[in-house]
């Protein structure tokens, strides 16, 4: 069994690829080789022992689907891939559109439809929540500087300014909104989401939907330490029936197919949960779900292979993760293999 995984940029803003791989490799009685798919030769995972067997560069999503498919065909000719697990928001539309062609090659995936990806997008999520009686912060979609002038009349400061795929900044006045809008739109395009700021504690749920409305697993985590980039650097599993049932309800309404991360804020005054975002892939902390008793990455692989997967019924509360940095020492020749030849093979 050969499984290709993307999102191996395990740095200060880590991708989900390495924890997804760890989960897959932790599965009992399941032997596989992991093939890494990377965008940059300095992504750390290819140089990490026992993470990937071989590594190949693939073109950035902006390169177009034809270029990506030709590259995958080349990799498949050498590796005979069984499954591809994309783990980054920006690449999912492309891989979803390529699913029929990948099926023809015999490569399995377990991905949301284009319609599902659009529905949970940051520009559409508020409408979905309002239609389904799910609490969500008010927001406006800004496509020009003119739209920003609405902020003062519609919101109280501070507000959150978010990119359509990534990035979020807190703005305390109109000047900071303009600055954040310019910075985020230059990286991720339009629209930019300007969202009501709700004071409270952040909770995240890592989940897996079967595509028919059923939740295979859901693990809730409370962030204990957040970086300047807004990323959870440590967290602990908690259980709140309201939070888990709310997550299952959202997955059921969308009939979500694949991994997901649901980000909530528990309002300080009311103790009610507001849905901030629904990310269309596993979070970088997904290995915490594995350690807590729900191996969601491996379950996704089983679903991709057409196997019947029973939902998890429980998980261990009080499991803590703490992220850390580590100086990885490698040889320049390995870097040259990837940067010059576009591939590297470990022993």
pLDDT at 166: 76
Domain end position, chosen among 177, 196, 215? 196
pLDDT at 229: 66
HSE-up of residue 213 (Cα within 13 Å, Cβ side): 3
Specify if 132 maps to a domain.
no
- Using pLDDT thresholds of 50, 70 and 90, give the confidence band for residue 96: very high
Domain end position, chosen among 150, 171, 196? 196
Query: In terms of domains, do 210 and 312 share one?
Result: yes
Greater confidence, 36 or 150?
36
pLDDT at 10 over 80: no
Average pLDDT of span 105-113: 98
Specify if 334 maps to a domain.
yes
Instruction: Please name which of 295, 292, 237, 312 lies closest in space to residue 21, comparing C-alpha atoms.
Output: 295
Specify if 120 maps to a domain.
no
Instruction: Give CA angle at 158 (153, 159), nearest 5°.
Output: 75
Query: In terms of domains, do 30 and 56 share one?
Result: yes
If residue 66 lies in a helix (H) or strand (E), which one and from where to where? helix 65-79
Domain end position, chosen among 168, 196, 224? 196
Q: What is the Cα–Cα distance from 68 to 91, expressed in whole angstroms? A: 10
- Over residues 11-26, the pLDDT tens digits come to 777 899 999 999 999 9
- What CATH number is attached to the domain comprising 79? 3.40.50.20
- Over residues 24-55, the pLDDT tens digits come to 999 999 999 999 999 999 999 999 888 999 99
pLDDT at 165: 77
- Over residues 186-195, the pLDDT tens digits come to 888 889 999 9
Specify if 127 maps to a domain.
no
- What CATH number is attached to the domain comprising 160? 3.30.1490.20
pLDDT at 347 over 70: no
- Over residues 68-88, the pLDDT tens digits come to 999 999 999 999 999 999 999
Query: In terms of domains, do 66 and 158 share one?
Result: no
Overall number of domains in the chain: 3
Minimum mean pLDDT range among 129-133, 207-211, 227-231, 289-293 = 227-231
- Using pLDDT thresholds of 50, 70 and 90, give the confidence band for residue 324: confident
Query: In terms of domains, do 26 and 57 share one?
Result: yes
Q: Please give the span between the terminal C-alpha atoms of the chain, in angstroms, as a whole number.
A: 18
Query: In terms of domains, do 260 and 281 share one?
Result: yes
Query: In terms of domains, do 172 and 277 share one?
Result: no
Specify if 330 maps to a domain.
yes
pTM of the model: 0.92
Average pLDDT over all residues of the chain: 94
Specify if 118 maps to a domain.
no
Query: In terms of domains, do 213 and 315 share one?
Result: yes
What is the extent of the structural domain holding 162?
138-196
- Over residues 163-211, the pLDDT tens digits come to 887 788 899 999 999 999 999 998 888 899 999 999 999 999 999 999 9
Q: Are 47 and 328 in contact (CB under 8 A)?
A: yes
Strand-by-strand arrangement of the 33-38 sheet? 83-85, 2-5, 33-38, 54-57, 343-345
Instruction: Please name which of 264, 283, 282 lies closest in space to residue 274, comparing C-alpha atoms.
Output: 264
- What CATH number is attached to the domain comprising 240? 3.30.470.20
- Over residues 280-291, the pLDDT tens digits come to 999 999 999 999
Query: In terms of domains, do 161 and 232 share one?
Result: no
Query: In terms of domains, do 211 and 310 share one?
Result: yes
pLDDT at 11: 74
Q: Are 258 and 99 in contact (CB under 8 A)?
A: no
Query: In terms of domains, do 170 and 89 share one?
Result: no
Average pLDDT of span 147-152: 87
Specify if 261 maps to a domain.
yes
- Over residues 306-316, the pLDDT tens digits come to 999 999 999 99
Query: In terms of domains, do 87 and 142 share one?
Result: no
Specify if 191 maps to a domain.
yes
Query: In terms of domains, do 177 and 206 share one?
Result: no
pLDDT at 230: 67
């Amino acid at each position: 069994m050969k499984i290709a995984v993307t999102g191996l940029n395990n740095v200060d803003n880590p991708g989900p690829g390495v924890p997804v791989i760890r989960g897959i490799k932790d599965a009992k009685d399941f032997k596989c080789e992991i093939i890494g798919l990377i965008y940059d030769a300095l992504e750390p995972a290819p140089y990490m022992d026992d993470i990937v067997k071989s590594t190949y560069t693939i073109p950035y999503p902006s390169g177009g689907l034809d270029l990506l498919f030709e590259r995958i065909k080349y990799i498949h000719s050498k590796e005979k891939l069984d499954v591809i697990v994309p783990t980054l928001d920006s690449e999912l539309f492309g891989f979803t559109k390529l699913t029929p062609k990948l099926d023809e090659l015999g490569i399995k995936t377990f991905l949301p439809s284009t319609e599902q990806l659009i529905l949970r997008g940051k520009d559409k999520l508020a409408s979905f929540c309002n239609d389904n009686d799910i609490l969500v912060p008010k927001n406006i979609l800004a496509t020009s500087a003119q739209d920003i002038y609405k902020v003062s009349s519609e919101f109280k400061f501070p507000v959150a300014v978010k990119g359509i795929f990534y990035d979020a900044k807190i703005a305390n006045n109109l000047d900071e909104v303009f600055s954040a809008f310019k910075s985020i739109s230059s990286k991720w395009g339009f629209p930019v989401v300007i969202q009501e700021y709700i004071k409270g504690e952040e909770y995240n749920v890592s989940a897996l939907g079967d595509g028919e409305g059923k939740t295979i697993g859901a693990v809730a985590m409370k962030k204990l330490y957040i970086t300047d980039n807004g990323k959870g650097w440590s967290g602990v599993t908690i259980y709140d029936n309201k939070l888990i049932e709310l997550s299952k309800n959202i997955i059921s309404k969308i009939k979500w197919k694949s991994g997901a991360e649901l980000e909530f804020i528990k309002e300080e005054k009311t103790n009610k949960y507001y849905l901030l975002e629904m990310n269309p892939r596993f979070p970088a902390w997904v290995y915490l779900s594995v350690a807590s008793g729900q191996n969601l990455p491996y379950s996704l692989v089983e679903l991709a292979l057409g196997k019947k997967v029973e939902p998890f019924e429980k998980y261990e509360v009080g499991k803590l993760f703490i992220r850390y940095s580590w100086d990885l020492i490698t040889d320049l020749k390995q870097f040259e293999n990837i940067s010059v030849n576009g591939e590297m093979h470990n022993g």
